[in-house]
Amino acid sequence: MSTATVTHAKENGTSALVEVCSVRLEKTWFGVPISHILEIVGGARPQPVPLAPGYVGGLVHYRGDVLTTVSLRHLLNMPPKDGPQDIIVLESKGGCFGLLVDAVGEVLTLSAVDFEQNPSTLDARRRALLAGAYKLKDKLLVMLDPERLDPIRLSSAQPS
Amino acid sequence: MDELTREFLIESQEGLDRMERCLTELEERPQDAGLLGDIFRSVHTIKGTTGFLGFKRLEKLAHAGENLLGLLRDGKLHATQGIITGLLQLLDGLRSILKTIEAEGSEGDGEDSALIVHLEQLQDATTAVAQTAHTAVAASGQSAVSAPAEPPPAPVAPVASAAPAPVPAASVPSAAEPAPPDPTVQTEAEKPRPQAIASAAESSLRVDVTLLNRMMNLVGELVLTRNQVLQATANDPNMTMLSRRLDMVTADLRENVMKARMQPVSNIFSKMPRIVRDLSQVLGRKVRLQVEGQDTELDKSLLEAIKDPLTHAVRNSLDHGIEPPEVRVAAGKDAEGTLKLRASHEGSHVIIEVSDDGAGIAVEKVRAKAIERGVITQERAALLGERELLQLIFLPGFSTAAAVTNVSGRGVGMDVVRTNVEKIGGKVEVDSRTGKGTTLRLRIPLTLAIIPALIVRTLEQSFALPQGSLSELVHIPPEQANASIEWIEGVALYRLRGKLLPLVFLDRMLTPNGKHREADERDNFIAVLDADGRQFGLVVDGLADPEEIVVKPLSAVLKDIGLYSGATVLGNGDLALILDPGSIALKSGVTMSAREEEAAVTSGEEVTDELKGLEYLLVETAGRRAAVPLADVLRIEQLPLSRIEYIGYRPVINFNGQLLPVEDSGGVLQAAEGKPEAQVIVVVCRDASRHVGIAVSQVLDVASGADLFEAGTTQRTGGVTLLKEHVTGVVDLGNVPPLPADEHQTADWNRIAETLA
């Protein structure tokens, strides 16, 4: 098994392996590069912030700080979900923020050769959020770009 | 930049700061050898290290300065006004090079030869004179000073103050003979100081501010955890002792970490002599600067924050407060004005006062200006008292340069001073008497990171309201809502002691499109807030406990909403947003002028009544009614009788080591004796600089009093006032005897003035 992986990598030569954490929203799976993830917090109930832009999912207490969360559901025009949600704490240039998802899946090791850019037919709004996709055996894993999900970027991108 | 250079920069800055302090002192005591030695050392150290680090430009300049200072220190030269100015220029020169090094890592290619030449000239010009003087002095066996050659600016008075020696009259003949041995006297007098500094340096160490900030954050975390533990273990008897202990240790730790961040105000006060000196020369004023309470300590970040406002206030005092000497003399005042900087503690605040004995603020001109600028209406202006008028100088409208010169009061950026101070949770007060002077009082909280707040509930969420801006709470149950809340064109108002208070419904404000319950369908709690001088009532659904909250910053996106100043974690683990009263007022359109206008809508009679009489807290002590001036009331405490302890037979309450004497002439405490669970109410009042508690059986109301006159005369009676149609005695706080330093007479009990009705 391990030898097979090695030969596979050798065949591809330049290709590197990428570790990706999969997250679920309803029935769709998305991927987040693990290099940006600080921590995963399960079963959180964010405190809503009145008058905040719609994509702000609320505040959570995270290691002594107050963390602003971004609702992936809102960004993808899905109805809000009641009950606890999982949070992926992401690090970006502007500091930390949390990404609210329905559930966190597993960590996958993917090969960079399987990666493809966004299709040109994707609408502009989604194209701004998604980074491309990995071709898995049976499905596509759509990648999220943590930098583009940063609330500061979002606030300048869409005037709420 | 390497570690060595950074260290050098920090050290040099400290040295230069010390040099600046010494230089301004030197002006008063030009012969003080200790001071000269200090200055010399500062420059010498810089020169030595620069040579080592290879900063040629800095070395050259420092070298020129050192030569001049060497002559001064050895007494070959006398510190004249010109030399001190030259040395100050040297200081500025060194500072600017250091700044360049800090910014760019190199010295830059500025040119200092003019300054160096100037410093050399200063040496030469006086060496000749000094040498002749020196020989003359040497002949008489004295090593030092050249009193005859250089008519010193004002050595006599300062010398007299430093050493008891020469009588002023004797100074004239003494000019002929070599100066009396006071240089040596002073040297001895000054010697202990450097030593003290040295030993202080040994027992202290430099700590990075970011580390302290981190520690403060962690302590904040601990405070939160403690709050949670306390709530969680409240009902578990086994845990009570442990959580108590945790509580105490946390409080102690917090206090000490806060202490570590404290710096004496002298850090900013020490900048003032230079500013005063420079400005008074530019403006042609003669000013003596008095500084008090230099050791008062304040959180470093707060200290930074008040630096600008304070500088502003000092400039204002010099520019608009203290008159030119000839005007002062004509007014019968000392030609030299006095500017006083005073820092002191008061409860959980530090008070910084800037007072001058200048012209004061011409209230009438403020009034005229306010009307002219349309800040207030003529009718309204006529009703305003002096105090209210003085507040107007804080309005942004008064800050333009033209307004200031015309008003001849201070006004330049007074709004800026207030905004800056209020930003850190402080307050600014002004007091002025025409012809006598002006006092500006900055009230600064001790710390920023942890603030007392009231937790309120709205929309099923908790919000924190900073106690600093909260003045009172009013509860309106649903059945009274229709009668109590009045409306003008969709704007809700509440009649607070006769004045109309605009109301802001928090739920409506936070969810403009949501559904809201009407005021008569729920409990209404009005938090009366005072933000930037605007008063309004914030209506919330419910109140929770007051809590000490740790302020956590919000991300930029949420800060932009403008309503919240931060967030915090409550004892129950919930998050709460901290409301910013100023922004809420702004957002809901509550402005100063709006309030004034609304107030003017109420009948004129009522308004005048309000302004005439002082407001009183009406209390009942053992069946009698008495009044306490509301302005003096700090808070009302309800506590178990067991909290009352006795010194001799004087009741006191211990608040964290601060003893509050309790006045119990009404016998409230005696009546409750033997029932340790009984609750007593203590009105905590301010009397001058101390606090006094008054035990009462009930707090009845707040009302404004009216003057009473003795029949047939126009003489106002003292100690009583007309409250709610009853003649009521006013408690004289001054009569409560101070706690004895050592137990002596307590017989002189003072009564709460008796009700005559």
Of B511, B561, B575, the CB nearest to A66: B575
In Å, how far is B558's CA from the nearest CA of chain A? 6
The Cα B683–Cα B701 span in angstroms is: 13
Within its chain, how far is the Cα of B338 from the centroid? Answer: 19
Cβ B371 vs Cβ B383: under 8 Å: no
Specify the range with the lowest mean pLDDT, choosing from A33-42, A75-84, B411-420, B686-695: B411-420
In Å, how far is B505's CA from the nearest CA of chain A? 14
State the average pLDDT for chain A. 81
The Cα B507–Cα B540 span in angstroms is: 7
Is A6 within the bounds of a domain?
A: no
Answer yes or no: do A47 and B575 touch at CB < 8 A.
yes
Looking at per-residue confidence, does B141 or B580 come out higher?
B580
Q: Which helix (H) or strand (E) holds B432?
A: strand B427-433
Answer yes or no: do B557 and A68 touch at CB < 8 A.
yes
Is A94 within the bounds of a domain?
A: yes
Q: What does the pLDDT read at residue A88?
A: 92
Of A59, A95, A97, the CB nearest to B567: A59
Answer yes or no: do A97 and B555 touch at CB < 8 A.
yes
Indicate the pLDDT class of residue B201, thresholds 50, 70 and 90.
low
Domains and CATH numbers, chain B: 3-202 (1.20.120.160), 209-261 (1.10.287), 264-445 (3.30.565.10), 450-607 (2.30.30.40), 613-735 (2.40.50.180)
CB pairs under 8 A between A and B: 64
With DSSP H G I counted as helix, E B as strand and the rest as coil, what are the percentages for chain A, rounded to 5? 25, 45, 30
The Cα B213–Cα A34 span in angstroms is: 30
Is A120 within the bounds of a domain?
A: yes
Is A13 within the bounds of a domain?
A: no
Reply yes or no on whether the pLDDT at B392 is more than 90: no
Q: What value does the CA radius of gyration of chain B take, rounded to a whole number of Å?
A: 31
Of B563, B575, B576, the CB nearest to A51: B563
Within its chain, how far is the Cα of B131 from the centroid? Answer: 50
**Count of all residues that appear for chain A in the document:** 160
Answer yes or no: do B552 and A53 touch at CB < 8 A.
no
Question: Which pair of tokens denotes residue A63?
Answer: 């290691």
Is A25 within the bounds of a domain?
A: yes
Question: Which pair of tokens denotes residue A52?
Answer: 């905040």
Is A115 within the bounds of a domain?
A: yes
Cβ B737 vs Cβ B748: under 8 Å: yes
Cβ B612 vs Cβ B706: under 8 Å: yes
In Å, how far is A145's CA from the nearest CA of chain B? 19
Reply yes or no on whether the pLDDT at B715 is more than 80: no
∠ at Cα B715 (B709, B720), nearest 5°? 50
Rounding to the nearest 10 degrees, give the CA dihedral for residues B583, B588, B590, B594: 150
Average pLDDT estimate for B129-139: 42
Average pLDDT estimate for B224-239: 79
Is A10 within the bounds of a domain?
A: no
Q: Are strands B337-346 and B287-292 parallel, antiparallel or unpaired?
A: parallel
Quick one: what percent of chain A has pLDDT higher than 70? 88
Indicate the pLDDT class of residue B741, thresholds 50, 70 and 90.
low
DSSP codes, A62-118: ETTEEEEEEEHHHHTTPPP--S-EEEEEEEETTEEEEEEESEEEEEEEEEGGGEEPP
Cβ B443 vs Cβ B425: under 8 Å: no
Q: Which of A30-44, B66-80, B674-688 has the highest mean pLDDT?
A: A30-44
Q: What does the pLDDT read at residue B470?
A: 87
Q: Where do the H-state alpha helices sit in B541-603? A: 556-559, 581-587, 592-601
The pLDDT tens digits of the residues spanning B286-305 come to 888 889 888 888 888 888 88
Q: Are strands B726-730 and B624-629 parallel, antiparallel or unpaired?
A: parallel
Max CA pair span of chain A = 56
- Distant-in-sequence contacts of B559-568, Cβ < 8 A, 24+ apart: B560/A155, B561/A49, B561/A51, B561/A52, B562/B586, B562/B587, B563/A51, B563/B509, B563/B510, B563/B587, B564/A49, B565/B466, B566/A66, B567/A59, B567/A66, B568/A66, B568/B453, B568/B464
SS3 at position B676: coil
SS3 at position A122: coil
Average pLDDT estimate for B53-78: 80
Interface of B with A (CB under 8 A): 217-218, 220-221, 224, 459, 461, 510-511, 552-558, 560-561, 563-564, 566-569, 573-577
> For residue B462, what is the nearest residue in chain A, using CA coordinates?
A47
Number of Cα atoms under 13 Å in the Cβ half of residue B484: 19
In Å, how far is B116's CA from the nearest CA of chain A? 48
Lateral strand order in the sheet of B624-629: B698-704, B615-621, B624-629, B726-730, B720-723
Lateral strand order in the sheet of B470-476: B470-476, B524-531, B534-540, B499-505, B491-496, B485-488
Is A139 within the bounds of a domain?
A: yes
In Å, how far is B419's CA from the nearest CA of chain A? 25
**What CATH number does residue A130 fall under?**
2.40.50.180
- ipTM of this complex prediction, to 2 decimal places: 0.82
- The residue of A63, A66, A87 whose CB has the most chain B CBs within 10 angstroms, and thus the best one to mutate to test that interface, is A66
Neighbours of B2 (CB within 10 A): 9
Q: Which of A64, A40, A70 is nearest to A52 (CA)?
A: A70
**Count of all residues that appear for chain B in the document:** 757
Answer yes or no: do A66 and B461 touch at CB < 8 A.
no
Q: Which of B119-128, B184-193, B266-275 has the highest mean pLDDT?
A: B266-275
Q: What does the pLDDT read at residue B62?
A: 83
- Our count of domains for chain A comes to 1
Answer yes or no: do B552 and A65 touch at CB < 8 A.
yes
CA distances from B165 to B28, B138, B179, B690 (A): 16, 22, 11, 40
Answer yes or no: do A60 and B461 touch at CB < 8 A.
no
Q: What does the pLDDT read at residue A69?
A: 92
State the average pLDDT for chain B. 74
SS3 at position A132: strand
Which residues sit opposite A69 in a β-bridge? A58, A98
Average pLDDT estimate for B410-424: 70
The pLDDT tens digits of the residues spanning B152-177 come to 444 434 433 444 444 444 344 443 44
CA distances from B414 to B199, B259, B310, B411, B592 (A): 42, 31, 11, 5, 16
- The whole domain housing A43 covers 18-157
Q: Which of B547, B655, B554 is nearest to B224 (CA)?
A: B547
Specify the range with the lowest mean pLDDT, choosing from A79-93, B52-66, B183-197, B311-325: B183-197
Indicate the pLDDT class of residue B626, thresholds 50, 70 and 90.
confident
B568: which chain A residues are within 8 Å (Cβ-Cβ)?
66
Reply yes or no on whether the pLDDT at B133 is more than 70: no
Q: What does the pLDDT read at residue B456?
A: 93
- Those residues whose C-beta lies under 8 Å from the C-beta of residue A14, and which sit 6 or more positions away, are none
Q: Which of A99, A110, A79 is nearest to A145 (CA)?
A: A99
The pLDDT tens digits of the residues spanning B435-484 come to 788 888 888 877 666 778 899 998 888 999 988 788 889 888 888 888 88
B552: which chain A residues are within 8 Å (Cβ-Cβ)?
65-66
Reply yes or no on whether the pLDDT at B602 is more than 70: no
A47: which chain B residues are within 8 Å (Cβ-Cβ)?
461, 574-577
Q: Which of B340-344, B581-585, B615-619, B736-740 has the highest mean pLDDT?
A: B340-344
The Cα B3–Cα A41 span in angstroms is: 40
DSSP codes, B706-722: B--B-TTS-PBPSSEEE
